[in-house]
């Protein structure tokens, strides 16, 4: 039985774009596989007809998405500490710590953010993300810290997903690079795709990649490093990490994308970061229910502050 029906009228014909691809862009919180399953199960129809995921949307067609009832979560609720920055009856924003996996996966079935949310929210999470990701609208890498928004119901989840997809969410990150950036500010526009040989990595690829845009400004110059504020204008996997590697200044502590530069920095300063120094410091969006802007600021974690203090002190010795 469907819990909610979402209707979309196609505004213009989309040549060479499949229905599943169109809906994946419209609902970024839902995986392409989940959308394909809903189409194949007849839960997504076009003008009342059951179609295939490969259907090409045309102007004037009416797409109905029947979101299914949320199934009981398989993950076990766990009482884990959460730093809540904001919470009401529809959503919450937390300051995610380093090392916390967002949702359960092979090898990480317990001690994840989802386990903690199932306990904290006690059944008040959106089911759109599926059994494995209830309430999760977007994600942060395991070692990335900072602002993360969680939806408590499907209506809020869909509204927030639309804001993320429409690039209406302000996302600012604090980060420390290996090396001193030559410019005080700049724009990085470089498409990102899955790495051709390392499947867990991403890479700049102008031919096969999806458009990605990051802007930045230098906050402080350190010894052999730079404190930077970066704003995300798109939301590609590992976007900031890949873009700063592309510039030649990978993130401090990011051994996946900057092992050689981190080794060099350690030789120069004697400091090795415990993780990638990337922190989602500011998140600003429109509250789906009140319609008012909501801006959250996540305090920097201790290890980030420690890295700054070490590199500042080292600069003047």
**What are 259's two structure tokens?**
């092992």
Question: DSSP letter string over 176-208?
Answer: EEES--SSSEEEEE--EEE-SS-TT-EEE-TTT
Answer yes or no: are the C-beta atoms of 78 and 111 closer than 8 Å.
Answer: yes
Q: Is 149 helix (H, G, I), strand (E, B) or coil?
A: strand
Q: Is the dihedral of CA 316, 302, 135, 36 positive or negative?
A: positive
Q: Around Cβ 162, how many Cβ atoms within 10 Å?
A: 15
Using the structure block, give the residue that is written with the tokens 């959460």.
82
Please, what is the end-to-end C-alpha distance for the chain in angstroms? 68
From residue 199, alpha-carbon distances to 97, 193, 194, 196, 251 in Å are 26, 10, 6, 7, 20
CA distance 157 to 29: 8
Q: Tell me, yes or no, if 141 is annotated catalytic.
A: yes
Q: Is 225 helix (H, G, I), strand (E, B) or coil?
A: strand
Q: Which of 20, 47, 88, 141 is catalytic?
A: 141
How far is residue 106 CA from its own chain's centroid?
20
Answer yes or no: are the C-beta atoms of 191 and 206 closer than 8 Å.
Answer: yes
CA distance 232 to 210: 14
Nearest to 64 by CA among 7, 14, 107: 7
Contacts for 212 with CB less than 8 Å, ≥ 6 apart: 188, 189, 190, 191, 192, 234, 236, 239, 242, 243
User: Which positions are annotated as active-site residues?
Assistant: 141
């Amino acid at each position: 039985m469907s819990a909610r029906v979402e209707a979309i009228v196609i505004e213009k014909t989309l040549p060479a774009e499949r229905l599943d691809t169109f809906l994946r862009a419209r609902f970024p919180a839902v995986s392409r596989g989940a959308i394909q399953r809903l189409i194949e199960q007849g839960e997504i129809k076009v003008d009342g007809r059951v179609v295939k995921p490969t259907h090409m949307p045309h102007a004037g067609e009416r797409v109905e998405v029947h979101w299914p009832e949320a199934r009981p979560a398989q993950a076990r609720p766990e009482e884990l500490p959460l730093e809540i920055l904001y919470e009401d009856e529809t959503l919450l924003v937390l300051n995610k710590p380093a090392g916390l996996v967002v949702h359960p996966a092979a090898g990480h079935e317990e001690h994840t953010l989802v386990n903690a949310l199932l306990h904290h929210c006690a059944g008040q999470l959106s089911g759109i993300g599926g059994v494995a990701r209830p309430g999760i609208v977007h994600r942060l890498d395991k070692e990335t810290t900072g602002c993360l928004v969680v939806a408590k119901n499907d209506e809020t989840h869909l509204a927030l997903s639309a804001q993320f997809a429409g690039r209406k969410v302000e996302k600012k990150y604090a980060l420390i690079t290996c090396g001193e950036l030559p410019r005080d500010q700049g724009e990085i526009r470089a498409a990102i795709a899955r790495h051709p040989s390392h499947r867990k990595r991403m890479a700049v690829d102008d031919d096969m990649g999806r458009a990605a845009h990051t802007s930045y400004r230098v906050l402080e110059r350190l010894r052999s490093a730079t404190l930077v504020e970066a704003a995300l204008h798109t939301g590609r996997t590992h976007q900031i990490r890949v873009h700063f590697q592309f510039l030649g200044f990978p993130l401090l502590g990011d051994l996946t994308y900057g092992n050689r530069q981190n080794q060099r920095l350690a030789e120069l300063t004697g400091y090795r970061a415990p993780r990638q120094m990337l922190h989602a410091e500011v998140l600003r969006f429109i509250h789906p229910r009140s319609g008012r802007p909501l801006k959250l600021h996540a305090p920097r974690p201790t290890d980030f502050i420690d890295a700054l203090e070490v590199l500042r002190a080292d600069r003047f010795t």
